[in-house]
Amino acid sequence: MPNHPVPVPSSVLAALKNKTIHLSAAKMIHSLFLVNASGDIFLEKHWKSVVSRSVCDYFFEALERATEPENVPPVIPTPHHYLINVLRHRIYFVAVIQSEVPPLFVIEFLHRVVDTFQDYFGVCTEAAIKDNVVVVYELLEEMLDNGFPLATESNILKELIKPPTILRTVVNTITGSTNVGEQLPTGQLSVVPWRRTGVKYTNNEAYFDVIEEIDAIIDKSGSTITAEIQGVIDACVKLTGMPDLTLSFMNPRLLDDVSFHPCVRFKRWEAERILSFIPPDGNFRLLSYHVSSQNLVAIPVYVKHNISFREGSSQGRFELTLGPKQTMGKAVESVLVSSQLPRGVLNANLNPSQGTYTFDPVTKLLSWDVGKINPQKLPSLKGSMSLQAGASKPDENPTINIQFKIQQLAISGLKVNRLDMYGEKYKPFKGIKYMTKAGKFQVRT
Amino acid sequence: MRAPPALSASAPRNGSRDSVSGALRRSASSSSTAAAAAEMSASSAFIDEKGGSASEPEYGHDPASGGIFSTDYKRHDDLKEMLDSNKDSLKLEAMKRIVAMIARGKNASDLFPAVVKNVACKNIEVKKLVYVYLVRYAEEQQDLALLSISTFQRGLKDPNQLIRASALRVLSSIRVTIIVPIMMLAIKEAASDMSPYVRKTAAHAIPKLHSLDPEQKDQLIEVIEKLLADKTTLVAGSVVMAFEEVCPDRIDLIHKNYRKLCNLLIDVEEWGQVVIINMLTRYARTQFLNPNINESLLEESSEKAFYASDDEEDEDKKAEAATLAKRKPYVMDPDHRLLLRNTKPLLQSRNAAVVMAVAQLYFHLAPKAEVGIIAKALVRLMRSHSEVQYVVLQNVATMTIKRRGMFEPYLKSFYIRSTDPTQIKILKLEVLTNLANETNISTILREFQTYIKSMDKDFVAASIQAIGRCATNIGEVRDTCLNGLVQLLSNRDELVVAESVVVIKKLLQMQPEQHSDIIKHMAKLIDNIQVPMARASILWLIGEYCEHVPKIAPDVLRNMAKTFTNEEDIVKLQIINLAAKLYLTNSKQTKLLTQYVLNLAKYDQNYDIRDRARFIRQLIVPTDKSGALSKYAKKLFLALKPAPVLQSTFKDRDHFQLGSLSHLLNAKAAGYQELPDWPESVPDPSVRNVEVIRLLERVTTLTSIPDWSKCTSRKDRKEKKTEKPFYSDSEGESGPTESADSESDSGSGSESASASDESGSGSESEESREETESEDEEEDEEKEKKRKKRLDKTKAKKPAEESAESEQSSGTEDRKRGRKAVKNQKSASESESESESSESEDESEEESEEESESDTDIRKKKTPISKQPPKQSKKESKKERQEMSLLDLDDFEPAPASAPVTPVNFLSSSLVSDLEGLSLTNNILAPTTIAPSGSIKMYELLHRITGEGLAVEYCFSRQPFSPDPNMVAVQIQFTNNTNSETKNLHIEEPRLQSGMRIREFTEIDVLAAGESVTVVMGIDFCDSTQAANFQLCTHTRKFFVSIQPPVGELMTPVFLTENDFKKEQGKLMGMNEISEKLMLGEKCVNEHVIVERVTATANLSRVPCGSEKECRFAGKTVSSGCLVLVTVPTKEGGAAQLTVNCEKMLIGTLLVKDIMQALSQ
């Protein structure tokens, strides 16, 4: 802020003479800069007085120091400000703050901003933000007042500022209207702050996706070092009026640690292990959970690997075979294997039994798009790697990261028992889908 | 575009950049301000240059792109024309373009006059964008901005709350000093606006005005005080924010609102929650006692005792006082408990900031035993975005130093993946190192071994250091670690080797004599290692331990002397050191070498090295001029040096409030509020009591403003709906130590469980009822109040025995009638809840009946409360509650634990019996009661003869024990049959089986002659029937006593549906199922008797069942929460079968035996 000892021209002094400059601590988020992957500031928004974009130089310095984009420290102190940044979709969201504030408060808010953009524009890319710069500005204006969050619920925001759709863009250009809502969102005053009122659908439907991710570290010999299941229930609820839903599980005791959307009545859960809630309109994450660690985690795939370098030779051997393990009879699909090979590897000459593989000689990243695993004919990737001539054999062992999907299976065995609706007369269409995915699934070699 | 080109070219790469850019910015803005008065075109040219448009990449497809305009100034005229036109669409288009310019950081200030005219535009969309513009540029163009003020003033009076709010928002965002009085007025007015949304905006405006003109502080504090009293959740977060910014030290403003804030908390929006929790953490630190005070006293007193040996009298006294204080158990302020209890559910929030806020609150405020619950939630956050992980890990690292045990079970969650960003890896490593202890070190070391092979070299270096720290902290593995590190010395990567050398050096310092071969090995390495720090470390080692390597040391020095001139400075310094040390120990071989090295150093470029050489030469080479010091040269150089302590950088970071920016940076950030130390003595807790009169006023004002009271009442109704199950939960926690209020709470709570089972239609009728009630009820107010008071007193006073007797005595029918008569007079909330249950009575639905049955069971078993609040305050709180219930302001419920706790017996026994009849009305909610009459069996703990007049009896109250849900509540009744007072009744020296724990009752200071008093203690029996032994002490005597629980008391009821029951039973087959055939006793004629007998034997609840011929019960063990399921199907002729399913076979067996006995009698 303008508190540097800088000579000020007399004309300015005249203009400022009836204005006192206070250095009183201004709280929370002061300004926001959006920086793209190539290091350009492409949007700035100030909620209090203007902070020069040169403050971002400290951020750029940190960016240069960091070897990887994600290694920029989330909090960067500068002489007069603190910069708190998050990296999403290859855009850095850099918030400028001036005084003590819980860092997670700012980080969480920035992520919420990104989520909102994604919700509005489908994607959160530089192009999308630039295309919708006015909407973005309106959103930011509504989300923060004087640096303190005002409205962050997407249901409320959507009433204040209509999301752009192709149709509305056309209408807007013809009628010359914008996306700003005419009315104060009723939600601000309604009993249910996260749900807008007056929702109407001709087809009333409620879909719930139970998605579980397996995080695991498998060691060299194939034994599990750590494995846990994290799950979420994402909902897409399009129901008329003010429905009050309850969702119960066959085996709620599986859930060890849960976090809820604010709509879930916590006490009901504590007492009866039933999710009772008035849902927001549209898409939202109802619940995230962690499956208790006492339960053994079924590992759906195994990897046989032989990655070796011989001393003195400029060749290395690479062999990888995947197979299904505990899949409850379901097919393992969308399998993608990736591995960061040692720096010494110049190139890889491999032969996949199915799917395609790529090796980037610059980043040394090997990735193999396997597709579906056929238990009769296990997919394999074999071949040789060429090393730098004369270089000694690399010490490091590459780890293998695996992604996969299993449809119609919640690997923890979690099952939704029933979904009931109260408060409305009609009969909604209900759907539950299960899916298991690999989370951070790593095999050490 | 990284920075304006002028900047990036001219700004130096260090330090002064900020001021340079500041200067640029200043001059830019100055010229723009001046430009407003002078010619515009010239300045805009300058400004655009400053905006850096020339270097800005253009994006052609963007229709709103300002790229075209910035290069062509005439286009600004276009914009002006558009803004001046009559068409809203043109204005809108222009404003959109202008906003796009602002968004990209371009200066649009020259358009100010054209834009400001449109502030009065009817089109709300144009208006909004104009607001955006105004907020951005008003500061620079103050005179012109003033033109718009009148529009906002008009807006503040608008009937639409949206317009009022946004007018206030923009008005307060215009940072122009001249309008301060207008802003002040607007804020004051908005603070009493009907719309909570506008009041929220007013709260937001307060800090804005304060930063504009701090002289307004006093007036603003008044507004804050007013808004703090606001009851809507919408306002709460924002006003606390304003409080934190304007007057964070005015803690006195919080007192009256403390309980309300605690109770509202769960319904406040997420961001407000964070702010409120942080504020309340500070508040609690100033108002409550340290819950871990006993622990710290223990340390202190032992220290004192040590000093007492100096036979100083007053020291002795102090020690005595300390031990006295130690013996007096700490009682948590109910308000403190309220805060902990109401924040706990927020650990389940989806918002990481909220979770972190609660975690830090627990870390700073909770008793040691309860802090553990935050670990799971924090570990969950580790799944979140990497920035969140980063912050959480920093805090976890600090916590693990203070309370390692908390995170030990989650060790594996901190294992490192190759895909983690380096900064996350290093923090995880820190946590793993902090968590390492004797038991888990082998797994951790195995994990570290894989880390050393990582490709991320920074991470490898950190891993090696971590191994070093483990080795210093855990003696058992020191040799293993050292060997591992020595093997690393042959690693191909030089950085790895260097890091290992440095760590080995530190480890060797601990026990050098055993490791001369390692030193030799390292001496050989010096030719190959190039990293200066590692070379320096090796040289230091050789010099320090040259006696262990007498042959190699001179040779190393010889080699180093050769390369001296090419070495780095730190290496040179160590060469000089080595030379000096060798000269002192082995001058024969090294004298010349040393002189050579010193000569080289004498002419070194670095003055540090020259100084060092000069200094050392004087010290070690004896000359006639050298002073007395040279005699001690050997002592100076070869003194035993203490080994370095490798400790975490996170040590003692917890003096910063966790979760704060200052904690993260380990430096005080601007505006950081220190976390105060706990007070020495309790500040007056009554400051938080809310006066009744004020509340009454509030209630009337509420009702006099029709539309907002309506809105709040609707809000509250909703809140209540969510609240209800909470109380049924809080019943589980609300303990015997809590006062009468908690009973009424839990009462309504358990009903709500049944209420919530009814579908939406039920809640609708509830709503309509409430509305009528709030009108009707006022007249009956006085009567009710009195009744209620008496009711509560009896409920509270009546000792257990009496209640049991009276239950048996009077007929059910009579009671039912009596109850119906009084029903209408009950307070709103109570009658509501009662009619709820009466509804469920009427409905012959079996399920609801069952539920209400179990409810009454619970209520019946409600036991007398030992501690009575003084009459006065109790009346107050009762009254207050009354007022509240009129309007259904459930959130205003005085904390269940709010009444002061002082054990006073003020009701004579005759009054108790007088009130007996009344209290019974409470117990007859369900006429079909089949609760075990007299189920509360008293056991003798101390006979009055052995106890020398003190008789002690105990019973299992079957209440959840609030301080620790895993404990069985044991209610103890002391009766003093002597003629004198008994003092200081308390427990000492519990002797328990491993795993068992005792939570003692609060010490009873005085028990007058002939009086009796009841207290509750908690015992964790670990699900075994082993006796808990302890000493019961009075001021004169100690008695050895023991409490052995019947197996049936080791469980608490669980409510299951029929389906759940079957499902759970299906899981507990085989070994876990015990089945016995039996003949029912003569009196077991019907179902009711069976239920009665079983529930009397074991603390189980009944599970609904389709057939009459079968009774089912469910419960879970108190300690470990294993399910206990009991089924009793009856057959013709008194035959029956008893099946118990329980994971704990021992419990199952014992339970079968007990129930068999009960049923066959």
* Residue A199 tokens, joined: 């929702």
B721, A49: Cβ pair inside 8 Å?
A: no
| CB neighbour class for A379 (10 Å; exposed up to 12, middle 13-18, buried from 19) | buried
Strand partners, B508: none
Q: Residue B306 above 80 pLDDT?
A: no
Low-confidence winner among A142-151, A222-231, A239-248, B1064-1073 (lowest mean pLDDT) = B1064-1073
Residue of A111, A149, A288 with shortest CB distance to B385: A111
Q: Using CB atoms, pick whichever of B23, B30, B726 lies closest to residue A267.
A: B726
Average pLDDT, chain B: 72
Residue A85, classified by CB atoms within 10 Å of its CB into exposed (0-12), middle (13-18) or buried (19+), is buried
Which of B19, B727, B763 is nearest residue A6 as measured by Cβ atoms?
B19
* pLDDT 10s digits, B225-251: 999 998 888 899 999 999 988 898 888
CB B1074 within 8 A of CB B1145: yes
CA angle B372, B378, B384 (to 5 degrees): 165
Residue B706 pLDDT more than 90?
Answer: no
At B104, the amino acid letter reads R
For residues B268 and B237, is the Cβ–Cβ distance under 8 A? yes
> Complex ipTM, two decimals?
0.89
What's chain A's Rg over C-alpha atoms?
Answer: 27
Domain residue ranges of chain A, discontinuous segments joined by +: 10-189, 205-297+409-444, 301-407
Question: Is A296 at the interface with chain B, CB within 8 A?
Answer: no
* Selection from A242, A189, A192 nearest residue B708 by Cα: A189
Q: What is the mean pLDDT of residues A416-421?
A: 91
Nearest CA in chain B to A45: B103
Residue of A nearest to B172 (CA): A146
Using the Cβ of A73 and the Cβ atoms of chain B, whether some distance falls under 8 Å is answered with yes
* A333 touching chain B per CB within 8 A: no
Helices (H), B1068-1120: 1087-1097
> Residue B77 contacts by C-beta under 8 Å, 6 or more apart in sequence?
none
B700 against A406, higher pLDDT: A406
Helix axes B373-381, B386-402, angle to 10 degrees: 150
Contact list, A97 vs chain B (CB under 8 Å): 661
What pLDDT score was predicted for residue B220? 92
Average pLDDT over residues A348-356: 91
Q: What is the pLDDT of residues B158-183, one digit of tens each?
A: 888 878 888 898 888 888 888 899 99
pLDDT 10s digits, A258-296: 999 989 998 889 888 999 999 998 889 999 998 876 667
pLDDT at B1153 over 80: yes
Cα distances from A368 to residues A332, A358, B578, B1138, in angstroms, run 15, 6, 56, 61
**Shortest Cα distance, chain A CAs vs residue B749, angstroms:** 11
**Is A43's pLDDT higher than 80?**
yes
What pLDDT, in 10s, does the model give residues B443-480?
Answer: 999 899 889 888 888 899 899 999 988 988 888 888 88
Instruction: Output the average pLDDT for chain A.
Output: 84
A-chain residue closest to B1123, CA distance:
A253
| Mean pLDDT of the B316-328 span | 51
Residue B20 pLDDT: 40
Does B723 sit within 8 Å of A267, measured CB to CB?
Answer: yes
Q: Given this model, what pLDDT does residue A171 score?
A: 59
Highest-confidence range of B535-539, B960-964, B1085-1089, by mean pLDDT?
B535-539
What pLDDT was estimated at residue B691? 57
Cβ distance of B271 and A7 shorter than 8 Å: no
Mean pLDDT computed over B857-861: 44
Among B24, B208, B728, select the one facing A271 at the smallest CB separation. Answer: B728
Q: How confident is the model at residue B934 (pLDDT cuts 50, 70, 90)?
A: very low
Q: How far is A374 from chain B (nearest CA, A)?
A: 28
Q: Say yes or no to pLDDT of B202 above 90.
A: yes
Token couple for A40: 């350009």
- Which H, E and C letters describe B1120-1151, residue by residue? CCCEEEEEEEECHHHEEEEEEEECCHHHHHHH
* Neighboring chain B residues of A214 at a CB cutoff of 8 Å: none
Q: How far A270 CA sits from the closest chain B CA (Å)?
A: 7
Residues in chain B with CB shorter than 8 Å from the CB of A395 are 453, 491-493
Whole-number pLDDT of residue A294: 66
For domain A10-189, say whether CATH 3.30.450.60 is its number: yes
Q: Do A27 and B57 touch (CB under 8 A)?
A: no
Whether B958 contacts B936, CB under 8 Å: yes
Give how far B1036 is from chain A: nearest CA, Å: 46
Is B100 in Cβ contact with A226 (below 8 Å)? no
CATH class (in words) of the domain with range A205-297+409-444: mainly beta
pLDDT computed for residue B303 by the predictor: 42
Contact (CB<8Å) B26/A176: no
CA distances from B221 to B231, B249, B933 (A): 18, 11, 58
The pLDDT score that the predictor gives to residue B877 is: 44
Whether B19 has a pLDDT exceeding 50, the answer reads no
Confidence (pLDDT) at B725: 37
Model confidence over B516-537: pLDDT tens digits? 788 888 888 888 788 888 888 8
Answer yes or no: do A25 and B96 touch at CB < 8 A. no
Are domains A205-297+409-444 and A301-407 of this chain identical in fold? yes
* CA distance linking residue B647 with residue B665, whole number of Å: 18
At the top level of CATH, the class of A301-407 is mainly beta
Higher pLDDT, A323 or A191: A323
Mean pLDDT score, A8-22: 39
Q: How confident is the model at residue B750 (pLDDT cuts 50, 70, 90)?
A: very low
What tokens appear for B267 in the block?
A: 């319904």
| Alpha carbons B526 and B573: distance in angstroms, whole number | 16
pLDDT in tens, B1129-1142: 887 777 888 888 88
| Residue B708 reports pLDDT greater than 60 | no
Give the contacts of B159 (CB within 8 A, at least 6 positions apart): none
* Band (A104; pLDDT cuts 50, 70, 90): very high
Give residue A397's pLDDT: 76
Average pLDDT over residues B384-401: 93
Least confident of A303-312, B918-927, B1097-1106: B918-927
What number is the average pLDDT over the span B97-118? Answer: 87
Residue-level pLDDT at B909:
39
Share above pLDDT 90 across residues of chain B, in percent, rounded to a whole number: 13
Q: Is the pLDDT of residue A32 over 90?
A: yes
How distant, in Å, are the alpha carbons of B1, B794, B800, B921, B1013 from that of B797?
76, 5, 9, 15, 10
Give the phi and the psi of residue B719 in degrees, each rounded to 5. Answer: -60, -40
